[in-house]
Chains A and B, each alone.
Chain A
């Protein structure tokens, strides 16, 4: 049913938006609120993004109350678990390192910029969907995305260059 169908995406969103181990609680709360407030469900809207919006809200409440969000960096599978890359073990390790760095950089972003990146690239939502989920104007989605990408560029590129000389 409805719950079964949307649990996985809702849980993934909650987890990645910062709920971490408490994502299950967030999802449960979100479903309960969704069903209690079906009156706010607008005509023509699809259920998924609407539920994600509640998930995002609940996650925000949770992280605000505990004053931290769950970090994601350590969640990246380690390079040795790989083996599918065609470029060989060395490329694989490099790619894996680069991604770990990217993840760390994402984790270091201000909340809103991190949220927008999670929605746009990890949950792969469109700008319009992201705007609905985060309850921001589309313009803010665009500007925060581009600000966040800029920061990542600033964080990542020097790091990548320094890595070669420092190590």
Chain B
């Protein structure tokens, strides 16, 4: 008792033991309530005319990033065959994020976006409503694909130090969802790309393309490869995917012009 460390250890271990014994009632599942409240807020916002006219919302950066992401990636992920087991999909600032329990589905090599057309970079630029940025760090893409009547442009680099690298670009409208993904938030890190916020997602995740009418394009569902970086400018949102680390991805991203 006179030994300070001794009594302290004793009290500490007793406290831990008490902590493990404490009966805490089971929580009720907040998922539905949370979703409704977030969507309710989104709905209210949509009805505010001032917001519709494009008055800048004071969105903190991460939200802005997520809006872009949404536009962008919206990562999403829900392959159709796994939809049944998705416990919940949350909409946040136009992005749909879900976390799926259980093992990820096997990758599908044949996934494609709707209406893919292989074009030259110049042709592609005439087909889309947003500027197509090309990362100087990777040079000119081996392949340029425009999908869904110019809604998405993808630059494909087959031979890079990082294996196959893919850069999807699309208009960053706040209320549209381009992709939906299932991702564990623990795998997401906020990063900075050219002074704006980006989202770094480590590891493969499911990605599916969402069409203009809001349905997921079944054939587009796939598991991403490597890691993903999502960021945007005021006019275009970008989603970079490949087998690189965060630093290399940021270098590539910040060289996009």
Collect the chain A residues with CB atoms within 8 Å of residue B184's CB: 2, 5
Whether the pair A41, B62 counts as a contact (CB closer than 8 A) is yes
CB distance from B86 to the nearest CB of A (A): 7
- With the chains together, A39 CA to B197 CA distance in Å? 9
Count of A interface residues, CB-CB < 8 Å: 53
Contacts of A21 in B (CB 8 A): 25
Does B63 sit within 8 A of A, measured CB to CB? yes
Q: Which residue of B lies closest to A121 (CB)?
A: B15
Q: Which residues of B contact A124 (CB under 8 A)?
A: 16, 19
* Residue in chain B with minimal CB distance to A74: B23
- Tell me how far the C-beta of B122 lies from the nearest C-beta in chain A, rounded to whole angstroms: 37
Determine the distance from Cα of A75 to Cα of B185 in the docked complex, in whole angstroms. 33
A90 within 8 A of B: no
Q: Are B63 and A28 in contact (CB under 8 A)?
A: no
Question: Which residues of the other chain, B, contact A77 by a CB distance below 8 angstroms?
Answer: 21, 23
B97: chain A residues within 8 A (beta carbon): 1-2
Proximity string of chain A (50-91) to chain B, C-beta cutoff 8 Å, 1 when within and 0 when not: 000000000000000000000010011100000000000000
Distance from A118 Cβ to chain B, minimum over Cβ atoms (Å): 8
Judge if A36 is at the interface, Cβ distance under 8 Å. Answer: yes
A125 to chain B, nearest CB (A): 11
The residue that B89 contacts in the complex, of A1, A24, A121, A146, with Cβ under 8 A, is A1
Which stretch of B4-12, B141-149, B227-235 is in the interface?
B4-12
Which residues of chain B are within 8 angstroms of A41 by Cβ–Cβ distance? 62, 190
Q: Is the CB of A39 within 8 A of B23?
A: no
- Complex alpha-carbon distance, A102 and B16, angstroms: 11
Query: In the bound complex, what is the Cα–Cα distance between A46 and B61 (angstroms)?
Result: 18
Known: A121-B12, A121-B15. A8 touches B22 (CB 8 A): no
Enumerate 5 A-B pairs (CB-CB under 8 Å) in ascending A order.
A2-B97, A35-B38, A39-B59, A39-B61, A39-B63
